[in-house]
Amino acid sequence: MEENIIKNPWSALREYTDARIGLGRTGVSLPTSKLLEFQLAHAMARDAVHLPLNIDNLLDGFANMPLELELLEKEATKGVLKEGIIPLLLHSQAVNRHVYLQRPDLGRRLNKESRKKLEELQKLDSYDLAIVIVDGLSSIAIKENAINFIHKLSKELVNDSLDWSLAPFSIVEQGRVAIGDEVGSLLNAKAVLVLIGERPGLSSPDSLGLYLTYNPKVGLNDSNRNCISNVRMEGLSYEEATKKALYLLKESRRLELSGVQIKDRTEDNETIQIKQEKNFLLN
């Protein structure tokens, strides 16, 4: 009964955010429609955590992606390219989702079979970058965003003034962010970029996170990584995420470091422009 709902004056701000503000009330309670929306969002967040990563869907995405193959023409990667682009399939030490949620430490390390697979690769050269896809806490985020982002980033890398060589792509099941360090190290990559499903929020079950580490190796902590968060259609656009990632990749390569020692300055020009405008509160 819409006529019984007392509107909240903050409701006008909902045009600018997915946050649950200005919901209104009926008596002292939430309107039924808003309560049902909350329950649906909660159910979607739970599904995002527990839904297994659809490997076949992801492989189809790679096979149909018009990727810039110049990046993968190095001699050492030819054995990986069979029919189109076939990523390496890896698994953490967490044997299933139940263990993964209770033992974060196991999600940070590869199991024996995966380590052996990487160690047996014939690495004739080092790579500038390894891209590792990890399911994390939202397989939906990977399904919706990973291929689209890789497509845009690969185009920028090919057209960049620097030459970039990519290690074979990797897909890790039941993984955490830090597992990318072990993968990058075994692939002999100078830097690793982990694409991982972020912990789902009640309005964002599909957020993709990007984590960059230079000189990856087991044992690093989060201060050694740069993070770009909330990459999705309704969040940070693929174009903007690619711009930030490329900036951090180039700075990381130039300075040979990553983490808290590198600051994302892609928005500095925009910040200066805002400062030059009048404060809207004084108008």
Numbered residues of the known binding site: 177, 198, 227
* CA gap 61, 167 in Å, rounded: 18
Element (H, E) at 245: helix 238-255
Task: Report the 10 Å Cβ neighbour count for 120.
Answer: 8
Tokens of 92: 């953490």
State the burial class of residue 20 (Cβ atoms within 10 Å of its Cβ: 0-12, 13-18, 19+).
Answer: middle
* CA gap 186, 57 in Å, rounded: 26
Closest CA to 156 of 197, 188, 193: 193
Known binding-site residues for adenosylcob(III)alamin equal 177, 198, 227
Closest CA to 143 of 69, 55, 72, 216: 55
- All residues at 6 or more sequence positions from 201 whose CB lies less than 8 Å from its CB, including other chains: 45, 207
Residue type, 11: S
* CA gap 88, 100 in Å, rounded: 21
Q: List, as own/partner pairs, every contact residues 55-63 make where C-beta atoms lie below 8 angstroms and the sequence separation is at least 24, other chains included.
A: 55/89, 55/171, 55/173, 57/143, 58/87, 58/133, 58/142, 58/143, 58/146, 58/147, 58/171, 59/86, 59/87, 61/146, 61/147, 62/86, 62/87, 62/147, 62/169
